[in-house]
Amino acid sequence: MITKNQIIPLIKAARSNAYKRNFKQSFELIITLKDIDFKKQNVSINEVIQLPFYSGQQPKICFICGGDLALRAKKAGVDLVIEQEQLDKLQGNKKEVKRLSKEYDFFFAEPTMMARIGKVFGQFLGPTGKMPTPVPPNMPIENMITKFRNSVRARTRSQLSVATKVGSEELEDEQVAENILAVYNTIERKLPQGEKNIKKVYVKLTMSKPLDMLVGVKG
């Protein structure tokens, strides 16, 4: 099991090795895996992980719904609400559907609209693991939105690696370390053999090379 004491020196090294840029850089975590055969084993990682500290990049949220749920979603400040009429107009407009699928990080939907959403968005959201989460009409969506605003998605794409952002360079080292542990522990629990399926762990800033978490050398 990795510890905060192993992570913090690597975070410091990533800071010192990063090129200076006129924008906020993000810390990125890369976990490489081993001894997993995706074709033979039922292993699929597509986790939404709430970070202990603000990641520095607010995810964009889209609700596909109507009626009272649409009004509540707009009032709660989601980035986009697509109602039934708008969804129907998107049918066949692959360019726009593809743009929306790429632009928004998390999708939620009224359960009765899921079949229609699958026809319109399925070919773009399915492969990226972004198919909407059904939201019952009586769910307190404000709390859910708050949670997802500080969450990241970590998923495998039939490859032996998982990569995700884990915080802004403006965070303290210990805060970045806590975020890394939150992601690492979640992924470890999803693996068939737990930590035995983890080959290496790397940390980097946007403009730095990956550094191996265990020995602090370039990966």
Burial degree of 211 (CB within 10 A; 0-12, 13-18, 19+):
buried
Query: What are the beta bridge partners of residue 78?
Result: none
Spell out the domain ranges in the chain: 4-55+157-212, 61-148
Bridge-based pairing state of the strands 211-212 and 198-205 = antiparallel
Distances (CA, A) of 125 to 80, 195, 202: 16, 30, 28
| CA 158/CA 94 separation, integer angstroms | 25
Has residue 215 got a pLDDT over 70? no
Per-residue model confidence as pLDDT tens digits over 169-211: 999 999 999 999 999 999 999 998 999 999 999 999 988 888 8
From the list 25, 1, 31, 16, the residue with the least C-alpha distance to 202 is: 31
pLDDT of residue 58: 84
pLDDT of residue 213: 63
Specify the DSSP element, H or E, that contains 78. none
Check if the beta carbon of residue 211 is closer than 8 Å to that of residue 218.
yes
The pTM assigned to this predicted structure is 0.83
Quick one: CATH architecture of 61-148? 3-Layer(aba) Sandwich (3.40)
Q: Retrieve residue 163's tokens.
A: 């990569």
Has residue 218 got a pLDDT over 60? no
Burial degree of 69 (CB within 10 A; 0-12, 13-18, 19+):
buried
Per-residue model confidence as pLDDT tens digits over 126-135: 988 899 999 9
Q: In this structure, which CATH number among 1.10.10.10, 3.40.50.10490, 3.30.190.20, 1.10.150.120 belongs to the domain 4-55+157-212?
A: 3.30.190.20
Q: How confident is the model at residue 216 (pLDDT cuts 50, 70, 90)?
A: very low
Average pLDDT, the chain: 89
Per-residue model confidence as pLDDT tens digits over 145-176: 988 988 999 988 778 999 999 999 999 999 99
pLDDT of residue 219: 39
**35 contacts: CB under 8 Å, gap ≥ 6:** 193, 196, 197
Specify the DSSP element, H or E, that contains 131. none
Has residue 21 got a pLDDT over 80? no
Specify the DSSP element, H or E, that contains 118. helix 114-125
Q: How confident is the model at residue 86 (pLDDT cuts 50, 70, 90)?
A: very high
CA-derived radius of gyration, the chain: 19
Per-residue model confidence as pLDDT tens digits over 24-73: 889 999 999 999 887 777 777 889 999 999 877 789 999 999 999 999 99
Has residue 217 got a pLDDT over 80? no
